[in-house]
Amino acid sequence: MYWTLELASKLEDAPWPATKQELIDYAIRTAAPMELVENLQEIEDEEEIFDNIEELWPDYPTKEDFFFNEDEY
């Protein structure tokens, strides 16, 4: 299983919290790349409920990871 920013960003609008199967269904409905569906299928815990993308990919960058100062604009 590998994650890229592009793949993970396809789940930003997913119906969180969600189970593995709900995320797979969402990815298929939104025509996400097959690599994303394959990553989701590799999750071992079938019944675990995920609250956000960070639970699937802990290294997912957040707004704090960027040096963009919103106060300047």
Q: What is the pLDDT of residue 2?
A: 81
Q: Which residue has the tokens 């919290």?
A: 17
Q: Which two tokens stand for residue 60?
A: 């997912």
User: pLDDT below 70 — which residues of the chain?
Assistant: 62-73
Q: What is the pLDDT of residue 21?
A: 95
Q: What is the pLDDT of residue 65?
A: 53
Q: What is the pLDDT of residue 62?
A: 66
Prediction pTM value:
0.80
Amino acid found at 62: T
CA angle 50, 6, 20 (to 5 degrees): 25
In sequence order, which ranges of the chain are alpha helices (DSSP H)? 5-9, 20-29, 34-41, 53-56
